[in-house]
Amino acid sequence: MGMDRNTVIGFVLIGMLLMGMFYFNNKGNTAFQAEQKRIEDSIQRTKPKVDLVKLKADSLRFDSARREKSVGGLQQSSDAAEELTTIENEVIKITFTNRGGQPKTVELKKYKTLDGKPVIVQKGDFNKISYDINSGENQKVNTGDLAFVTGTKIDNADKSQTINFTIKDSVGKQVSHQYTLHSNDYLLDFTIVMNGADKLVSQNTINLQWQTQTNQIEKDHEYEKQQTHICYLTDGAFDFTMLGNSGEDKKFEKPVDWLSVKQQFFISALVNKNKFQNAEIKWVVPADTSLHIIAQTIANCRINLTPGNSATVPLQLYYGPSDYHVLKMYNNKMENIVPYGSGIFAFVKYINRHVLLPVFDMLRENVASMGMVILLLTLFIRLLTSPILYKSYVSGAKMKALKPEIDKLKEKHGEDKQAFSMDQMKLWKTAGVSPLGGCLPAVLQIPIFMSLYYFFQSNISLRGQNFLWAKDLAAYDSIYNLPFNIPFYGDHVSLFTLTAVVTSLLISIYSMSNMQDNSNPVMKYMPYIFPVLLLGVFNKLPSALTWYYTISNTITLILQIVIQKYIIDHDKILAQIEENRKKPVKQSKLQERIQAMQDSNKKIQDMKIKNPKK
C-alpha cells in the first residue's frame, strides 16, 4: 500500500502549519516586533525613550535633598537602620525590609537553578511597592522612602504567619502594611490599612506603584525572554503581551483584577481583590544580556477608597511557579497565565488542560522517570489517534488499487485535464473512494501536534528533570557546544533534535517510496524539506518535546510498516471496491458540488470548441 496524493498533501499541510507556529514562537513574533520597531522609530523624536536609566530614575524620584527633610513627623528610611524580617512556609521564604514596609527578597524553596542555587524571584533595590501620601501643606512623601516600625511576627492558629509594618505621625495619622502568609501557599495577603485616610490621600485615591525586576533563571536567556509575557485580567478578560525587543507601555482604562510578569516558569503578580480602577504598565528589555535581566517593569495602579477617616485596601502578591494546578486554586483566572495554547491554536489549551494534563499527572505519580512518562504519554496519544491513521492508510490502499485504472484514464485523455478529472471523480464514486479520505485524517491530527507543542514548553513539572543525556527536559539538550553560531541552527548540537529529524526523514523516505504518483517534482521533494527545516527549528526547543517527536515518529514508522504489510488485506480491498461498484452511487453534498462544477466547466469547454470565435 502507498500514500495517495491527498494523504501527502495533508501531511505537508501539517508540516507547513507546524513550521509556521514553531517559527512564530521561537522568534517571539518577529513580525509583531518589527512593526513595533517601526512605530517606535516613527515617534522617537516626539516621545521620550523609555530605557533602563529612565525607568530606574522613576523608581528613585525622591533625591537625597528631599530625604533630608523631616516631613510631618515621618522618619525617612535613609535616617534609620534597615531591619530585615523573614517569614516562610513549606514552599516560600520572604524577607521583608522596614524601608517601605515591603518584601525585599523572595526565595522559592522547592525549585533550584541548573547550578543548584535557590530560585530567587525577587531581589535587588529596583523591586518596590509604594505610593504617595500627604505629609503636610502641599507636601507629599513616598512610602518607599519611609522607615516603618516592624511589628512582632505572629503565628496564627491556622498555621499562617502575619507581620505588620506601621508608620504614624505626631497627630495620629497612621499607615499599616499587614502581610499574611498561609501554610504551603505562594500567595501573600497584603493589606493596607489607613487611619486618617481623608487627610493622608487626596481625592480618596491611592496611586500604587509596583516595580519588578525579572532576572534570568533558566539556561537560555533568549529563549526565556521569548517565553516571558506581561499578563493581565482586565474587565474580566485575560490577555497577555509579549516583551518585544526593547520594551513597551500599556494602559488599561477598564478595571483591572491583577497584573503579572510571567517568566518561562515563574510568576510575580499583584492582585487587587476589589479591582484597580485603572492601570498603566511599562517595561524595558535590556539589550545587554550580560546583565542577566530579562525585563524591568513599573506598574501604576489607581485605587479608589471609600470616603471616610479609615480605609482598607485588600491586595495580594503572588510569587511562585507557572503551575496550572496551583493557579487554578485561587479562582481568579490566573491559571490562564500558563500558555497551553494561544493565537489561532488557543482552543488546544482545553485539550491540554482536560485530556493531556490529567493523563500526564497520573503517569507522573506512578512512574519515576520523566522520560518514561513522556514515552507512555506518547503511546497513549498514538492509541487515541490510531483510528484516524488507519483510515488514512486504508484510503491510500484503495487509491493504490485504483492506480492501474487511473493510469489508463491518463493515457486516454492525454493533456485534457478537465476530462481526466471528471472521469477520475466518476471512478472514485463507483469504487466508493473518498478523494479526501487521506487528507482529512491527516489534517485532524493538527490539534494533537499543537497541543503537545504548547504542553511540553509550558509544563513546569519537566523543569530540572533529567533523562539519558538530557540534564533538563525543559531546556534543549546539548551534546556539543560549537565555537561559533550557525544562522538558523545555533551554537550547539541537540541530540534529541537529531533523532527527531532522522526519524521524520525515515518516515518521508518510506512514504515517498510507496507513493503511487511521484512524477510531480514538488510533491516528490516537499516531504523531505520539512524534516530538514526541523533541524533548525527544534534545536532550541525543550528536549522533552524533541524526545516526544522521536518516540512519536518511531511509532508512526512502525505502524506504517505493520499496518501496510500485515493488517491491510489488499485482496479484500479490491473485493470491496468491486462490491461498491455494484451498489447505487450515493453522492455526498461535497461530491455533488464538485460534480456540478466539473459539468459546468465541461459545457463551457465544449461551447468554446464548437464556437471558437466566441
Counting residues of the chain whose pLDDT is more than 70, the rounded percentage is 74
For residue range 464-510, what is the model confidence (pLDDT) as tens digits?
A: 999 999 999 999 998 988 888 888 888 889 999 999 999 988 888 87
- In the predicted structure, residue 287 carries a pLDDT above the cut 60: yes
Q: Residue 520's pLDDT is what?
A: 56
**Band of residue 377 on the pLDDT scale cut at 50, 70, 90:** very high
More confident residue, 592 or 211: 211
- In the predicted structure, residue 527 carries a pLDDT above the cut 80: no
Q: Residue 74's pLDDT is what?
A: 57
- In the predicted structure, residue 54 carries a pLDDT above the cut 60: no
More confident residue, 467 or 170: 467
- State mean pLDDT over 166-186: 92
Residue recorded with cell 523531505? 528
DSSP for 243-288, written as a single string? --SSEEEEEE-S-EEEEEEE-SSEEEEEEEEEEESEEEEEEE--S-
Among 15-24, 90-99, 523-532, 582-591, the least confident range: 15-24
H or E stretch covering 183: none
For residue range 196-224, what is the model confidence (pLDDT) as tens digits?
A: 998 999 999 999 999 999 999 998 888 89
Among 287-301, 535-549, 579-593, the least confident range: 579-593
CA dihedral 347, 350, 355, 358 (to 10 degrees): 140
Q: What angle do CA 18, 19, 24 make, to 5 degrees?
A: 100
More confident residue, 415 or 341: 341
Task: Give the Cα separation of 103 and 108 in Å (integer).
Answer: 14
For the sheet with 128-130, list strands across it: 128-130, 205-215, 293-304, 278-284, 247-252
CA-based Rg of the chain, rounded to a whole angstrom? 32
For residue range 87-142, what is the model confidence (pLDDT) as tens digits?
A: 999 999 999 999 999 999 999 999 998 888 899 999 888 889 999 998 877 788 99
**Band of residue 279 on the pLDDT scale cut at 50, 70, 90:** very high
**Band of residue 251 on the pLDDT scale cut at 50, 70, 90:** very high
For residue range 599-610, what is the model confidence (pLDDT) as tens digits?
A: 676 666 666 666
Among 82-96, 105-119, 270-284, 512-526, the least confident range: 512-526
**Band of residue 60 on the pLDDT scale cut at 50, 70, 90:** very low
Q: Residue 255's pLDDT is what?
A: 94
Domain 60-337 falls in which CATH fold? Beta-galactosidase; Chain A, domain 5 (2.70.98)
> Is residue 443 packed enough to be buried (19+ CB in 10 Å), middle (13-18) or exposed (0-12)?
middle
Among 86-95, 100-109, 341-350, 399-408, the least confident range: 399-408
> What does the domain layout of the chain look like in residue ranges?
5-27+354-578, 60-337
- State mean pLDDT over 81-87: 92
Task: Give the Cα separation of 588 and 440 in Å (integer).
Answer: 15
Name the region of 473 (left: φ>0; alpha: ψ -120 to 50; beta: rest): alpha
Q: Residue 570's pLDDT is what?
A: 63
Counting residues of the chain whose pLDDT is more than 90, the rounded percentage is 44
Q: Residue 595's pLDDT is what?
A: 62
- In the predicted structure, residue 392 carries a pLDDT above the cut 80: no
- In the predicted structure, residue 22 carries a pLDDT above the cut 60: no
More confident residue, 127 or 17: 127
Output the average pLDDT for the chain.
80
- Model-level pTM? 0.79
- State mean pLDDT over 350-363: 94
- CA–CA distances in Å: residue 271 to residues 214, 265, 333, 378: 18, 19, 11, 38
